[in-house]
Structure 1
Amino acid sequence: MQKQILLLLLSVIIISCKGSDSGYSDATAPDTFTATFETTKGNFEVEIKKAWSPKAADRFYNLIESGFYNNTLFYRVVPGFVAQCGSLDAFVMKEWEAVKVPDEPVLHGNKRGTVTFARSGKESRGLDMFINLYDNTPLDTINYEGVKGYPAFGTVTKGMDVVDKLYSGYGEATMENQAYYSSQHRMQGAFPQLDKIKKAYITSGK
């Protein structure tokens, strides 16, 4: 588990999936909203509770509205830990990274099915997201570079069975060679069975 958490801390800066062509936006999210994710294994829905982590909810809302997660890979799926996806479109990421997401306290823990941002240090949340496949309570309190815990900001309300089916046969192997992180094409070539988010969109609360 310690190795998995360390990789989670670092993964936000070494992710490798192709993102969207849409740039940064900063609309204010509603107090509660639902998003649908269409994947190669089927659809799942997440409900976001802004009260749990307001800044994260705003960023997630804008990422989805901009198409950020469209055509991204679940590049890291570890049984009993997390299913994680992100982007490495350098142009798009630069725009989003220029506006930091302030760190927030953990008000709702990393229970199975909750949605959380990965991070690599202070104010580094806001790109990669992961779904907890297990009650990952150590993520609620772990301290890294002066930041305590990973605040969940939503939960899967429909289709957790779909999330459980995401291909996990590669485990942490996708995280162990930075040569894979240069493009989605290279990642898919090395790990052809990875599942993909085909499209993500807001379905209620707009």
Structure 2
Amino acid sequence: MRLLTSLILAAALLATPALVTPTLAQQPPPAAKPLDPLNTLVIELRTGKVMIQLRPDLAPKHVERVKQLAKEKFYDGTVWHRVIPGFMAQGGDPTGTGTGGSKYGNVKAEFTPTQFERGTVGAARSQSPDSANSQFFICFTHTPSLNGNYTVWGRVVDGMQFVDQIAKGEPPANPDKIIKAYILADAQAAPAGTAPAGAAPAQKK
């Protein structure tokens, strides 16, 4: 009798549709966090637009400087003067030599434990920790040698493939330019058809 009961239960289970629990692969990816227009820097390159999430929570003074310069169109037309494969692309110097900066004073270091990963944007400087001004760099890859030694003020959230295509060299023979750099909120506020107003990390060993 017990055997018959077991067979009946087994048959019933086989006849019942299975309850499927979705696997992680079947679940839809989480929705991307919307960009904060007030803290998004857009850099237009010949190949496309690069979207950078600014991090005032990490480096408020540096972000304030970047916003100020972007609003003044300071970065427009400047070149990427130092681009090292497997390391970083550096720009933000109006002279294109790696020695220039803005008319404003230098910004004091705002070092944090934040890791320098692919797409991390940091403030370039000379030997003094407090010598950052207008120059910045975007990491091509994880670069732990920079951790705690340079200020992180942003992260590329879209368009990193265009950063990868920036002409390489120290300096490049034919350097790429920043066509425009502006804060996303300024572009959204501008009337249709109008344009928005708008030193080096040590090489890794």
TM-score category, normalised to shorter length: 0.5 to 0.7
- Which structure 2 segments of 5+ residues have no match? 1-35, 190-205
1:94 offset after TM fit, Å? Answer: 5.7
Q: 1:31 to 1:107 in 2, by over 3 A?
A: farther
Residue aligning to 2:119: 113
Q: For 1:88 and 1:195, how far apart are their aligned partners in 2?
A: 13
Q: Give matches, 1:74-89, under 5 Å.
A: 74-89=80-95
DSSP-derived class of the 2:178 partner: strand
Q: Deviations over 1:176-200 (max 9, x none)?
A: xxxxxxxxxxxxxx822x2111111
Q: 1:34 to 1:157 in 2, by over 3 A?
A: same
DSSP-derived class of the 1:115 partner: strand
Residue aligning to 1:191: 173
Q: For 2:129 and 2:145, how far apart are their aligned partners in 1?
A: 18
Q: Which is bigger in relative contact order (C-alpha 8 A, separation at least 6)?
A: 1
Q: Deviations over 1:107-129 (max 9, x none)?
A: 42211101111001132112111
Say which structure is richer in helix.
Answer: 1
Q: For 2:84 and 2:95, how far apart are their aligned partners in 1?
A: 24
Q: 1:152 to 1:93 in 2, by over 3 A?
A: closer
1:165 offset after TM fit, Å? Answer: 1.1
Count of paired positions: 148
Which structure has the larger Rg over C-alpha atoms? 2
Residue aligning to 2:136: 129
**1:54 to 2:60 alignment:** yes
Q: 1:31 to 1:40 in 2, by over 3 A?
A: closer
Residue aligning to 1:17: none
DSSP-derived class of the 1:47 partner: strand
Q: 1:106 to 1:41 in 2, by over 3 A?
A: same
Q: For the Cα contact (< 8 Å) 1:31–1:49, is it kept in 2?
A: no
1:151 offset after TM fit, Å? Answer: 1.9
- Counting aligned pairs with the same residue, the percent is 31
Residue aligning to 2:153: 153
Residue aligning to 2:30: none
Name the Cα RMSD after superposition. 2.5
DSSP-derived class of the 1:95 partner: coil
Q: 1:139 to 1:84 in 2, by over 3 A?
A: same
Say which structure is richer in strand.
Answer: 1
Q: For 1:122 and 1:49, how far apart are their aligned partners in 2?
A: 19
Q: For 1:128 and 1:44, how far apart are their aligned partners in 2?
A: 17
Q: Give matches, 1:60-71, under 5 Å.
A: 60-71=66-77
The one-letter amino acid of 1:65's match is: K
